[in-house]
Each structure stands twice: as structure tokens, then as C-alpha cells.
């Protein structure tokens, strides 16, 4: 079974550096995919309220041979649940659906700055963490000014920021700020979610030279630059293939070749433009 390295977070907890994401996966499909992922050796599962599959994820964890305390479980607070009281209720509802009495990491999914509730929501996550039911708390899709504001107004630094990050969009500014504050960088859409990266000729050349698949080359690049990475797949062979990337070691030249692919190409929304009612 592949040996996934751990990263130590600023609060002392550890997170596996490679995990399994389940965005755009139906509840019953998520159950099957997470069951395989756990059986293969994944120990980090990334879901969210809005994915509609917390129940399937919870069922897969409960049915697996892996003890709950050996699974690192992340879920996220949806935009409509921002604000203290809604956040507290949303967290309880997520635990209920997941069938567990704690999560390892709870994230604010998007800052939604136009609605200006994210500082209040962050304070609610601090309360939730104090209750012991979220071991660690963090954020997702926060830009430098959102991070700076919650830090300035609460004194509490998130352990992790989950952001879109792949070779076509490497987020140097955010990674630098994360480094300064000891915030872990977690990459969503690490394979660029079907936007051509896996067909890139540079990726293909590195993969061929390293004797691995394009997805493994990209995931090995993420691991080499220190990202936590959560590829999604519902294809059994790919689920196994992606985990095996932890055993791939790229040379400095191969890492540099993939780093040379930066083109500022975001596939997702600009966090400053996302507001609470945007996606229902």
C-alpha cells in the first residue's frame, strides 16, 4: 500500500499530503468511490455540503475496515450558511449526514466578500473548533486580502487554504503568503479538472521520461512543491493510479519543466466575485 506522507499543520495536527476529492460525484457513486479509495490506502477524504454526497461519504467510511480516527475527513460550510447561527446549524447538519461526531477539518467554502459575513463566519468556526467537533479549521478560495482580514480581526490563522492550483495556475502570491503564516496550501482541481493539462506535451514528455502517467507526473509535481493534493476520480484504475503518485520522485529538471507551464489560467470563479446567492 502506498505510503502517503503527512504534513504537520500549524495547530500540530497532521494531514495526509494526498487525498481523495468527491466534487460532482453523486451520493451513491461517492460511496463506492470512497470505499475503493479507503481500501487502496487513501486516508484523506474531501467533501462539502454543496457536493450533496456527505451521506455517501459517511456510509463508505462507516463500512470500511479503516478506523474513523485513521481517516482525515474534511467538509465545508456552504455560502448560504454564512453568519454565526446558520454556520453552527450547518455544521451540526453536516456531522449528522456524515454519521460522525467530528470532522478533522472544517472549511469556509468561499469568502463571498460582497456579503461581508466571512469574519463572523470565521468566528463561528473558532467556536466549533473549541467544542472539539472540528479538530482543525481553515478556509477555501480565500485571496490574500481575505486571509489578512480574518487574521487581523480575530487573531486566528487558518491552518489551511484550499485553492485552485495546478501547473497552469500556480498561485505564487498566495503560496508566498501561506508560507509566511505557516498556512498549508491544498490544491483543488490539481489535474486542472479536464482543461487540457493531462494532454500537455510538456507533461507528456516528463511523464514518459519518468516512466509514469501524465496524472502521476502532475501529482508528483504538487507533492514536490509542498501542496496537499486531492484529485478526484470515479474510475477505479485512476483512483489507484493517482494514489501511486506518492511513490514518484521527479528530478529537479522535471519539476522545473512542469513549473514552466504557468499561464494564469484559472478554471474556476474569481473569489471576489462569488456572492452567497450566486449558485443557489
Tell which one of 21, 56, 113, 158 touches ligand NAP (CB under 6 A): 21
Give the CA distances from residue 193 to residues 23, 149, 166, 275, in Å, rounded to whole numbers and listed in that order: 10, 30, 9, 23
Closest distance of CB 87 from ligand NAP, Å: 17
> Which stretch in 36-44, 61-69, 123-131, 185-193 sits in contact with ligand NAP by CB under 6 A?
185-193
* 178 annotated binding-site participant: no
Shortest spacing between CB 216 and ligand NAP, in angstroms: 7
Q: What does the CA dihedral 23, 259, 183, 22 come to, rounded to 10 degrees?
A: 10
Q: Is 51 a catalytic residue?
A: yes
CB of 235 to ligand NAP, least distance (A): 3
Pick between residue 155 and residue 266 the one whose CB is nearest to ligand NAP: 266
53: contact with ligand NAP by CB under 6 A = no
- Shortest spacing between CB 181 and ligand NAP, in angstroms: 19
Please state whether beta strands 44-46 and 160-164 pair in parallel, antiparallel, or not at all (unpaired): unpaired
Q: Does 141 bind ligand NAP (CB under 6 A)?
A: yes
Catalytic residue among 42, 51, 72, 106: 51
Q: With left for phi above 0 and alpha for psi between -120 and 50, is residue 117 left, alpha or beta?
A: alpha
Please say whether the beta carbons of 244 and 2 come within 8 A: yes
Under rule CB under 6 A, residue 147 binds ligand NAP: no
**Burial class of residue 69 (count of CB atoms within 10 Å of its CB; 0-12, 13-18, 19+):** exposed
Residue 158 binds ligand NAP, judged by CB under 6 A: no
Can you state the angle between helices 252-259 and 201-210, rounded to 10 degrees? 170
Residues 222-241 that bind ligand NAP (CB under 6 A): 230-235, 238, 241
Give the count of residues interacting with ligand NAP (CB under 6 A): 27
Please give the residues from 189 up to 208 whose contact with ligand NAP meets the rule CB under 6 A: 189-194, 198
Which residue's C-beta sits nearest to ligand NAP?
21
Nearer to ligand NAP, 23 or 275 (CB): 23
Cβ proximity to ligand NAP, 68 vs 238, nearer residue: 238
Beta carbon nearer to ligand NAP, 65 or 241: 241
36 binds ligand NAP (CB under 6 A): no
Annotated binding site for substrate: 109
Known catalytic residues are 51
Residues binding ligand NAP (CB under 6 A): 21-23, 46, 109, 140-141, 162, 188-194, 198, 213, 215, 230-235, 238, 241-242
Annotated binding site: 109
Amino acid at each position: 500500500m502506498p505510503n502517503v506522507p503527512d504534513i504537520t499543520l500549524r495547530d500540530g495536527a497532521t494531514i495526509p499530503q494526498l487525498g481523495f476529492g468527491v466534487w460532482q460525484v453523486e451520493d451513491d457513486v461517492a460511496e463506492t468511490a470512497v470505499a475503493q479509495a479507503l481500501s487502496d490506502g487513501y486516508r484523506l477524504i474531501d467533501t462539502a455540503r454543496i457536493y450533496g454526497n456527505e451521506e455517501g461519504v459517511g456510509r463508505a467510511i462507516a463500512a470500511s475496515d479503516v478506523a474513523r480516527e485513521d481517516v482525515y475527513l474534511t467538509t465545508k460550510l456552504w455560502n448560504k450558511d454564512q453568519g454565526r447561527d446558520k454556520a453552527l446549524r450547518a455544521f451540526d447538519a453536516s456531522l449528522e449526514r456524515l454519521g460522525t461526531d467530528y470532522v478533522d477539518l472544517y472549511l469556509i467554502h468561499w469568502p463571498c466578500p460582497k456579503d461581508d459575513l466571512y469574519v463572523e463566519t470565521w468566528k463561528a468556526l473558532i467556536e466549533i473548533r473549541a467544542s472539539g467537533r472540528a479538530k482543525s479549521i481553515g478556509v477555501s478560495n480565500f485571496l490574500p486580502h481575505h486571509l489578512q482580514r480574518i487574521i487581523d480581526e480575530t487573531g486566528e490563522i487558518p491552518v489551511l487554504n484550499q485553492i485552485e492550483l495546478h501547473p497552469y495556475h500556480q498561485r505564487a502570491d498566495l503560496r508566498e503568503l501561506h508560507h509566511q503564516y505557516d498556512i498549508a496550501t491544498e490544491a483543488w482541481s490539481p489535474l486542472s479538472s479536464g482543461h487540457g493539462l493531462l494532454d500537455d506535451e510538456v507533461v507528456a514528455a516528463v511523464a514518459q521520461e519518468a516512466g509514469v502517467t501524465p496524472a502521476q507526473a502532475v501529482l508528483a509535481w504538487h507533492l514536490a512543491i509542498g501542496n496537499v493534493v486531492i484529485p478526484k476520480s470515479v474510475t477505479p484504475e485512476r483512483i489507484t493510479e493517482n494514489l501511486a503518485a506518492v511513490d514518484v520522485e521527479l528530478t529537479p529538471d522535471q519539476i522545473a519543466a512542469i513549473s514552466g507551464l504557468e499561464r494564469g489560467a484559472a478554471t474556476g470563479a474569481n473569489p471576489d466575485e462569488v456572492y452567497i446567492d450566486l449558485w443557489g
